[in-house]
Amino acid sequence: MAPLTERMQDYLPLLITGLWRTVAVSLLALILATALGLVWAMLRTSRNVWLERPARFIVEFLRGIPILVVLFYIYFVMPEIGIDLSAFQAGVIGLALTYSCYIGETFRGGIEAVDRGQVEAAKSIGMRHGKMMRRIILPQAVRIALPPYGNNMVMLLKDSSQVSVISVAELTMQGKMLASSTFDNMTVFTMVAALYLCLTIPLNIVMRQVELKMGKSR
Amino acid sequence: MIRFENVHKSYGRHEVLKGIDAEVEKGQVVCLIGASGSGKSTLLRCVNGLEDYQAGGIFIDDRKVDAHAASIHDIRTRVAMVFQRFNLFPHMTALENVMEGPAQVLREDRKEVRARAEEHLRSVGLADKMDFYPSALSGGQQQRVAIARALAMRPEAILLDEPTSALDPEMVGEVLNVLRDLADAHMTMLIVTHEIQFAREVADRVFFLDSGRIAEQGTAEEVLARPKSERTQEFLRRVSHLL
């Protein structure tokens, strides 16, 4: 076998392509999941039961299904009803749907943790619901929800490896293919793990900094 | 300007307001006193629709207050409120707290709003605290910011729900002084308070509430110095240690 450094140099380009694919899947899924999660949170904290109940049902429903099954469903079942998605699209949507529920619950927790007196104070100066949410409640809820949201981010990034099962050529998938063609399992999967850490560790550090900064201004 | 006509309110089967009839005239300071649970805070909160009521009517300049109608937003811009626990917006500075209503709700010119907000903060003695966040202010200072926030709406009346009850004793005075100034300027105020001495001093009228009814109302002198109702006499005896 070639020396270790040489082998690593051989593997690296393929793994880096996978890494970028992982970043792309995660980032797109995060953006979608955050937007959708915000929608779930707004609906679930609404006083209107016709908004609250369906939202609660959808969230409970999605949360009860394993992410792999969600991915299979979107990738294999949707084409049967005429919705053809690429593996990449299906992966992003599956991750986003699943994580929108976790993120939505995180946001809801944040909104509900804001003191009732804030709602009354906002109302007492004549604010309507929408503006009160935007100007008073959400800015405070975000601070409360930020640490768990950061956890969700890291978990989503790691769970993006699941989309390898529907053949998205992200980092885990690339690793698996490299390993099965070279039988150099130890080197390949150690590199894969290290590359994931290259993403998750800086992410954790950034989140901690943001938390510290936000904590100061209150 | 604020008229109560046979106001009834209940929480489920528990009736908290059992027919309130009263009137607050423009420029008057009215103090609501009574034991806890007598319904005085509830009555106050009905005036700007933070609570609804089931029967009767509350009228502000002949406009009926309905907590569930769209008109409530407009009514709230004209009747400001000060809370027991201040309820300042923690993510905004004192100045931003005071500016929020006029700038965001009334959509007035930002520059003018700012100048006026600074003026209001000066008038409550907080010229040097404008850029402080609430968490960096004492209770008394926070409550004065809250009063400035109410004033910034240029309200026709201010509702104050036990404005000094959450304060350390040494800070009660600074808040009461601000309220004295407002009373002298003939701001219409409806104040729920336990400060009998203060009520005697500033109130034009006093309502004594007892289990959901106004048991006695009249001038401060009439109700507090020469109460006719037995319930009022008993209540005043019990709180007399505060004097």
Q: What is the pLDDT of residues A152-164, one digit of tens each?
A: 999 999 999 999 9
Confidence band of A211 (pLDDT split at 50, 70, 90): confident
Using an 8 Å CB-CB cutoff, list chain A residues near B88. 121
SS (H, E, C) chain A: CCCHHHHHHHHHHHHHHHHHHHHHHHHHHHHHHHHHHHHHHHHHCCCCHHHHHHHHHHHHHHHCCCHHHHHHHHHHHHHHHCCCCCHHHHHHHHHHHHHHHHHHHHHHHHHHHCCHHHHHHHHHCCCCHHHHHHHHHHHHHHHHHHHHHHHHHHHHHHHHHHHHHHCCCCHHHHHHHHHHHHCCHHHHHHHHHHHHHHHHHHHHHHHHHHHHHHHHCC
What does pLDDT average to over chain A?
A: 93
A129, closest residue in chain B (CA to CA):
B73
Q: What pLDDT sits at residue B203?
A: 94
- Nearest chain B Cα to A134, which residue? B104
pLDDT of residue A61: 93
Query: Looking at chain A, which residue has its C-alpha nearest residue B75?
Result: A126
Closest residue on chain A to B102 (Cα): A125
| Whole-number pLDDT of residue A217 | 52
- Residues of chain A with Cβ-Cβ distance to B91 below 8 Å are 139-140, 143, 217-218
Dihedral angle, C-alpha B180, B186, B190, B191, nearest 10 °: 0
Please give the pLDDT value at position A213.
81
* CATH classification for the domain delimited by A7-216, as one of 3.40.190.10, 1.10.3720.10, 3.90.1170.50, 3.20.20.70: 1.10.3720.10
**Parts of chain B with a pLDDT under 50:** none
Inter-chain touch B76–A131, beta carbons under 8 Å:
no
Do residues B144 and B107 lie in contact, with contact meaning Cβ atoms separated by under 8 Å?
no
Position with higher pLDDT, A46 vs B146: B146
DSSP B35: -
Average pLDDT, chain B: 93
What pLDDT shows up at residue B79?
96
Domains and CATH numbers, chain B: 2-242 (3.40.50.300)
CA–centroid distance for B91 within its chain:
24
Q: Which residue of B has its CA nearest to A215?
A: B91
Asked if residue A195 has pLDDT above 80, the reply is yes
Cα separation, A23 vs A168, in Å, equals 12
The pLDDT value given to residue A175? 95
Q: How confident is the model at residue A28 (pLDDT cuts 50, 70, 90)?
A: very high
Do the chains contact at A217 and B50, CB–CB below 8 Å? no
Question: Is residue A208 over pLDDT 60?
Answer: yes
Task: With CA atoms as reference, report the closest residue to A99 among A136, A57, A151.
Answer: A151
Q: What is the C-alpha to C-alpha distance for residues A117 and B52, in angstroms, rounded to an integer?
A: 17
Pick from A120, A124, A134 the residue to mutate for testing the B interface (most B CBs within 10 Å).
A124
Q: What are A82-128's pLDDT values in tens digits?
A: 999 999 999 999 999 999 999 999 999 999 999 999 999 999 999 99
**With an 8 Å Cβ cutoff, are A127 and B87 in contact?**
no
Distance from CA of B156 to the nearest CA of A (A): 13
Which residues does A contribute to its contact with B (CB < 8 Å)? 115, 117-118, 120-128, 131, 135-136, 139-140, 143, 217-218
- Could you tell me if A88 and A22 are in contact, meaning their C-beta atoms sit under 8 angstroms apart? no
Q: Quote the minimal CA–CA distance from A174 to chain B in Å.
A: 46
| Residue B112, both tokens | 């003018």
pLDDT for residue A92 = 97
Chain B residues touching A135 at Cβ < 8 A: 100, 104
> In Å, how far are A53, A149, A193, B33 from B207, measured between CA atoms?
44, 51, 73, 6
Q: Is the CB of A126 less than 8 angstroms away from the CB of B76?
A: yes
Q: What pLDDT, on a 0 to 100 scale, did the predictor assign at position B12?
A: 87
Distance from CA of A214 to the nearest CA of B (A): 10
A139 contacts B100? CB cut-off 8 A: no
pLDDT in tens, A131-144: 999 999 999 998 89
**Which of B74, B106, B135 lies nearest to residue A218, judging by beta carbons?**
B135
pLDDT value of residue A214:
76
- A53-86 tens-digit pLDDT: 999 999 999 999 999 999 999 999 999 999 999 9
From edge to edge, which strands make up the β-sheet containing B157-161?
Answer: B79-82, B157-161, B188-192, B29-33, B205-210, B213-218
